[in-house]
Copies of this chain bind each other. A is one copy, B any other.
Amino acid sequence: MTVQIAGVASTEFGEHPDSSTRELFTDAALEALADASLTPGDVDELYAGNFIGDLIDDQAHVGAMAADYLGARQAASMRTESACASASSAARSGAQAIMAGDADVALVGGVERMYAAGIQEVTDALANAADNEYENKAGLTFPGIYALMAQVYLDEFDVSQEDLAEVAVKNYENGVTNPLAQRQEETSVERVLDSPPVATPLNLGDCCPITDGASAAVLVSNSFTEEHGIETEVSFEGSGQSTDSLALQDRPDLARTRAAERAADQAYDSAGIAPEDVDVVELHDCFTIAEVLAVESLGFFERGEGVRGAVEGETAVNGRIPVNTSGGLLAKGHPVGATGVAQLVEITKQLEGRHPNQVDDSTIGLTHTVGGSGASCVVNVLRAGGE
């Protein structure tokens, strides 16, 4: 059983000093509703991904805030939180509410406002996604966590820092032509290698920025499209979500993301497809190493081979399996609570044939979103050809 994607929108990603969290969310939500030819009064359920709004802005209860400010008080509203995968959980929950028969129209989205708090406070807040007992209290923050994973990966396979840098080069190149991307400039392997070290082997050029932004999508039931004469071009076709140990110390292999492997298997099963059926992918490249691990977990490359995607052009816009044609988290930006739906927005535009880095003949697209160091992972599958 499927649900339809009737409209999508993202704000520009970057710095929004004059917009509050509720304003950013509403901007994206109203644009997505307009794209669907619907209004706030049509929304039955609203799921808002948000990760650190309470920590840095003293505002939890973000679902109600979003529905209230949008003018959708009639809706059931809820905040979903799976760390940086919060918005993908929102999308999955919205689809389930429709499939359960509780809603015809679900507005799913996410928002994060990170710039105003500054890098130190944001880094501390993001560390809430790690295991407080065993990681935060020991001083570990996310660049360090992913550096540990990268170190193990580089030790285990014949891969270099130069190879990892190629991921940033590819994604920055894609960002140049995405008008919503935070970084619309190219980079180079040399520039990444010469950028300040953050946590060896990751330099600043291997890390995504902090970002303000919001994204939203309007999911509707098949019967609603028929009754209201709405034509959709893309359907939400399947989904998988799984868990891994919260702390790195409990994982047998740091160069492998098990939750992503399980989520991918589930998503492929639920959509009735295999990895080779996928035409275009938005995945969670919060650090260059994260993209390499992701393309392996998703079954596009054998273990130890993932970096070939960027190095040999297999994941380029015109490659075998285009990955992060939006610029990814590295160039498009990573407003953590919004990212999963931002990926869904990009894939929807690809499957509708209106993406700035259009992939020819793309029918099946996939989003992959990670919470923390991989303790959560959500994989959602979209298909061109709606109702």
Contacts and interface: CB of A to CB of B under 8 A. Distances in A.
Nearest to A1: B101
A81 B81 contact: yes
A136 B46 CA distance: 24
Contacts of A131: 59, 65
A138 interface: no
Contacts of A81: 60-63, 78-81
Interface stretch (A160-168, A188-196, A235-243, A297-305): A235-243
Contacts of A213: none
A262 interface: yes
A58 B132 contact: yes
Interface string A40-72: 000001100001101101111111110111001
Contact of A58 (B59, B69, B136, B250): B136
A132 to B, nearest CB: 4
Contacts of A259: 73
A313 B55 CA distance: 44
Contact of A54 (B1, B45, B128): B128
Interface stretch (A28-36, A90-98, A173-181, A341-349): A90-98
Contacts of A95: 100
A74 to B, nearest CB: 6
Number of identical protomers: 2
A139 to B, nearest CB: 12
A102 interface: yes
A382 interface: no
A295 interface: no
A92 B20 CA distance: 30
Nearest to A80: B78
Contacts of A239: 102
A81 B77 CA distance: 10
Contacts of A63: 81-82, 243, 376
Contacts of A61: 81-83, 128-130, 246, 371-372, 375-376
Interface residues of A, number: 70
Contacts of A77: 82, 241, 243, 376
A57 B242 contact: no
B82 A79 contact: yes
Contacts of A372: 61, 64
Given A78-B81, A97-B96, A65 B246 contact: yes
Nearest to A270: B102
A74 B242 CA distance: 6
A245 interface: yes
Given A60-B81, A78-B81, A93-B78, A73 B128 contact: no
30 contacts: A45-B241, A46-B243, A51-B60, A52-B54, A54-B128, A57-B132, A58-B127, A61-B129, A61-B372, A61-B375, A61-B376, A63-B81, A63-B82, A63-B376, A64-B83, A64-B243, A64-B246, A64-B372, A64-B376, A76-B263, A77-B376, A78-B80, A78-B376, A79-B80, A95-B100, A97-B100, A99-B100, A99-B101, A99-B102, A100-B100
